[in-house]
Structure 1
Amino acid sequence: MAFLIPKQSVAQKDGAAVAAVAGGLLAIGAGIAAVEQMKEQAELRATQWVLSNRPELESFSLKTLAFNGKKMKDMSSTSVITYKIQEFNPAMDPELDGKKQVLFGFTSHGWLNQSGIDFDKVRWYLVDDVEWMNMMIAYVKVSSDEKDESALNKTLLEGKVVNKGIKVKSKLVIPFFKLTGDMYVVTDYSSEMKLLYNERSLGIFLKDTRDLVQMGRGDIIDIHEYFFDND
């Protein structure tokens, strides 16, 4: 199940991501303290969104998976922030063993300004493992010669998404097309978005705002492993 809803967003990641964000904010006059404040604000906004829009989630963990999950480096432009959400049973030492979901926060031009983040310039998209698999199948169909959806589902469950294609036990079983940076292959995925394949990235075009975000392959790998890596 997935749905697109405007309003509120954002958060943290690791040292490298924070440095990238800091650079973008410094370019518009903000500093490291502002970055930290922004991260805290964003975590709160993400949690508020879940509480407002998913009332059935009574115990869950929400952590940032990627703060700047895109291929392009201009932080003042469009971007996508991803959160991993997982349910658990409350206990003295609870384990995160419940249903997993990923929350995307797609930003629009102007989402960063001298006041920080404009949370009105965000579109939310929530996916579970089924929806993510559907997206990956559609993505691999346009990025490779493999078109059999049943075969793709099996391969994606067994393998891993890497830079050159899909690997199963270190063997590249589905190679991706070799495209230059200015070549795109497009599929009309849903009423909300189109998916694009271009060299080492997943492009997501939001029909409502006409914004295009190109997710880096590393972020695709992280999301896929979060859903399907049981190691």
Structure 2
Amino acid sequence: MRKLITLLFILSILIPTKNNAQDNGAVVAGAVGALAAIGAGVAAVEQMKERAELTATEWLLANNPNITSFSLKTIDFDGKKLKDMSSASVITFKIQEFEPADKPVLDGKKQVLLGFTSHGWINEYGIDFNKIKWFLIDEAEWVNMMVSYVKVASGESSDYNVASTLQEGRIVNKGVKIKNKMTIPFYQLSGDMYVVTDYSNDMKFIYNERSLGIFLKDTRDLVQIKRSSLIELHEFFFEE
């Protein structure tokens, strides 16, 4: 419905209220062509999202046979800041297990699946999902990642203090808050300044203004995840 309203709004802008019949005909034809192109673009993106979700489900089934009943939903199909869809990016999914029943309740273990793409994963031949590197993250690993990120983004050095603050509070644009109090403020950096920490054998974390940068050592790709995506992921784990 929201997409339909948007398209109708665009159409109302493209077609003037006063004009002669010939001009109106030309404008309508142009508007229809533009809307057809928009519709095709929307359909293509939706198809990509469906294929990505299918691929994520297949990966989970192949690599985690112990998970036998679960929900898998896309959080952010394009969680990166870079606009070029063919470049390195990250696709995020939230996964929650449940007990099979009539109208089951999602109350089981929560995990997040991150799919990091490499340059050229979208090309003239379509989508190459072989160029995705997968990381399945549970709550404990997520806390470890966010502790490392918050430490590199702020002056806080205590793992315990950061972990307890994260579990009680929430990540916002300027730091970590507990209720309305800014408990751990982030550094204020310009767009060309970076702070780096070596997180694991697979990745480094880079703090840049309002972004978490993840550098994958294997592929040497640097992906910047939007702060809004981080907030949603954190709330998924710790929502009441």
TM-score computed with the length of structure 2 as normaliser: 0.82
Higher normalized contact order (CA 8 Å, seq sep 6+, divided by chain length) = 1
Partner of 1:43: 53
Aligned residues of 1:102 and 1:127 also touching (Cα < 8 A): yes
Residue in structure 1 matching 2:164, options 154, 163, 171: 154
Q: Unaligned 5+ residue runs, structure 1?
A: 1-13, 16-25
Partner of 2:181: 171
TM-superposed CA distance for 1:226, in Å, is 0.3
AA in 1 matched with 2:178? V
AA in 1 matched with 2:239? D
The share of aligned pairs that are identical, in percent, is: 65
Q: Deviations over 1:72-99 (max 9, x none)?
A: 2222211100000000000111000000
Residue in structure 2 matching 1:194, options 191, 204, 213: 204
AA in 1 matched with 2:135? Y
TM-superposed CA distance for 1:37, in Å, is 2.3
Could you say what secondary structure the match of 1:51 adopts? helix
Number of equivalenced pairs: 205
Aligned residues of 1:62 and 1:85 also touching (Cα < 8 A): yes
Is it true that 1:120 corresponds to 2:130 in the alignment?
yes
Larger helix proportion of the pair: 2
Partner of 2:237: 227
TM-superposed CA distance for 1:32, in Å, is 3.3
Is it true that 1:103 corresponds to 2:113 in the alignment?
yes
Distance, in Å, in 1 between the alignment partners of 2:153 and 2:43 is 41
Larger radius of gyration, structure 1 or 2?
2
Distance, in Å, in 2 between the alignment partners of 1:216 and 1:47 is 24
Partner of 1:69: 79
AA in 1 matched with 2:107? D
Residue in structure 2 matching 1:132, options 128, 142, 146: 142
Distance, in Å, in 2 between the alignment partners of 1:75 and 1:44 is 19
Distance, in Å, in 2 between the alignment partners of 1:120 and 1:82 is 16
Partner of 2:63: 53
Distance, in Å, in 1 between the alignment partners of 2:98 and 2:106 is 5
TM-superposed CA distance for 1:42, in Å, is 1.6
AA in 2 matched with 1:109? H
Q: Deviations over 1:111-150 (max 9, x none)?
A: 1112321111110011001001000000111111111111
Partner of 1:84: 94
Distance, in Å, in 2 between the alignment partners of 1:38 and 1:142 is 34
Partner of 1:9: none
Q: Unaligned 5+ residue runs, structure 2?
A: 4-36
Partner of 1:209: 219
Distance, in Å, in 2 between the alignment partners of 1:142 and 1:156 is 14
TM-superposed CA distance for 1:219, in Å, is 0.4
Q: Deviations over 1:19-48 (max 9, x none)?
A: xxxxxxx8xxx7333323222222211111
